Amino acid sequence: MRLRLCWTAALLGALVLNGAAFADVTVSQSNDPSVSIDGRMSSLLGLEKSALDRVAPTRLAALADGVAMPQVKVVAKPAAAEVKPEKAVVAKPSKTAVKSSPALISYDPAYLAALPVASGDAEWQCLATAVYHEARGESLKGQFAVAEVVLNRTDNPAYPRSICGVVRQSGNGGCQFSFTCDGKSDAVHDRGAWETAGKIARLMMDGAPRGLTNGALYFHTVGVRPDWSHRFDRTAAIGAHLFYRH
């Protein structure tokens, strides 16, 4: 009995010693837990610091204070505004604009009678006088045709540039328009014929078309045959007058 107790005690003692030795070996193989934990913490802190370095300072300050960062409001770009076409602007005619040709010219006596009594400057006076003395007995077309010849000459470099210069032109002992050098009075005795001549002169000077004589520069009555008439081309025959040009 005593021997069994001794063996039991010896066995327990061996077990206690072996447990202590095993405990030493286990602790030794853990490589000093205090050092390992510090090392791991240092590694983790290093990674955290590296990550935090990439965070904006304002964000870090907000996180430290427990304040939420303000949300960035994304504002959508406004749609392109509809562009409405501008109203057309009609330019006012210039005060110095050249008078345009009348839209319609009628050789009807009623048309001319409805026009107001005409007036004008010295150029108008010269043209009206030429129409009155050279063609007052002619139809309206015949009177307009004489006015055309006078104005056609003012556009030709071979003749004076003014109406009065053309009407009063003379040379080689004669004159271009016979009434200016026939020795007769140029006084107006037919007031109605004068008003008609004045209206014709006004219309022609204001730009009425010259479509009767086809650019004629000369005319004569059918009762005479001047020698120059053989050298020019006849362009029209209106009433008692024949018209020519180069």
Domains of the chain listed by start with CATH number:
119-211 (1.10.10.2520)
Q: What is the pLDDT of residue 84?
A: 35
CB 145 within 8 A of CB 238: yes
Please give the DSSP secondary-structure letter assigned to residue 42. H
pTM: 0.59
Highest mean pLDDT among 3-12, 100-109, 233-242: 233-242
Q: Which helix (H) or strand (E) holds 204?
A: helix 191-205
138 closest CA partner among 205, 200, 183: 200
Highest mean pLDDT among 42-51, 104-113, 182-191, 192-201: 192-201
CA–CA separation, 131 and 197 (whole Å): 6
CB 109 within 8 A of CB 206: no
pLDDT at 93 over 70: no
Q: Which helix (H) or strand (E) holds 82?
A: none
Least confident of 13-27, 59-73, 119-133: 13-27
Task: Identify the band that residue 14 occupies on the pLDDT scale cut at 50, 70 and 90.
Answer: very low
Share of the chain above pLDDT 70, in %: 58
CA–CA separation, 131 and 179 (whole Å): 11
| Mean pLDDT of the 118-129 span | 97
| Mean pLDDT of the 192-211 span | 96
Q: What is the pLDDT of residue 174?
A: 83
pLDDT at 207 over 50: yes
pLDDT at 240 over 70: yes
pLDDT at 82 over 70: no
Highest mean pLDDT among 41-50, 94-103, 172-181: 172-181
Q: What is the pLDDT of residue 161?
A: 96
Q: What is the pLDDT of residue 57?
A: 56
pLDDT at 162 over 90: yes
| Mean pLDDT of the 96-113 span | 70
Please give the DSSP secondary-structure letter assigned to residue 18. H
| Mean pLDDT of the 240-245 span | 96
pLDDT at 3 over 50: no
Task: Identify the band that residue 173 occupies on the pLDDT scale cut at 50, 70 and 90.
Answer: confident
Highest mean pLDDT among 19-23, 38-42, 83-87, 215-219: 215-219
| Mean pLDDT of the 28-34 span | 36
Q: Which helix (H) or strand (E) holds 143?
A: helix 140-154
